[in-house]
C-alpha cells in the first residue's frame, strides 16, 4: 500500500515565507530563486533539500549582496 503524499500547508508557509504554493498543494515555488518543485515526498524535507541546492544558495547570496547597498 503506498504511503500518503505530503503537501505544502499553513505551518510550512509560516516557517518558509518565501515559498508559495502553486498549482496544487503538492507543488511549491521558491520566490528567491524562482524554482518550482514538488513537496510531495517529505514536505519540509523537500524544502530543506532545496535550500541546500546550489541555485538557491547563489540566489540567496545575490539577494543579500544587493540589499546591503
pLDDT bracket for residue 4 (50, 70, 90): confident
Rounded Cα distance between 69 and 55, Å, is 22
pLDDT bracket for residue 64 (50, 70, 90): confident
- Strand ranges (DSSP E) for 1-69? 19-21, 27-30, 35-38
Looking at residue 66, its pLDDT comes to 81
Question: Percent of the chain at pLDDT above 90?
Answer: 71
Selected residue with higher pLDDT from 2 and 39? 39
Selected residue with higher pLDDT from 49 and 64? 49
The mean pLDDT of the chain is 90
Amino acid at each position: 500500500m503506498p504511503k500518503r503524499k505530503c503537501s505544502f500547508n499553513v505551518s510550512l508557509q509560516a516557517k518558509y515565507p518565501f515559498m508559495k504554493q502553486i498549482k496544487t498543494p503538492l507543488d511549491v515555488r521558491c520566490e528567491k530563486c524562482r524554482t518550482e518543485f514538488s513537496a510531495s515526498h517529505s514536505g519540509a524535507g523537500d524544502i530543506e533539500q532545496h535550500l541546500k541546492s546550489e541555485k538557491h544558495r547563489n540566489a540567496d547570496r545575490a539577494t543579500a549582496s544587493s540589499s546591503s547597498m
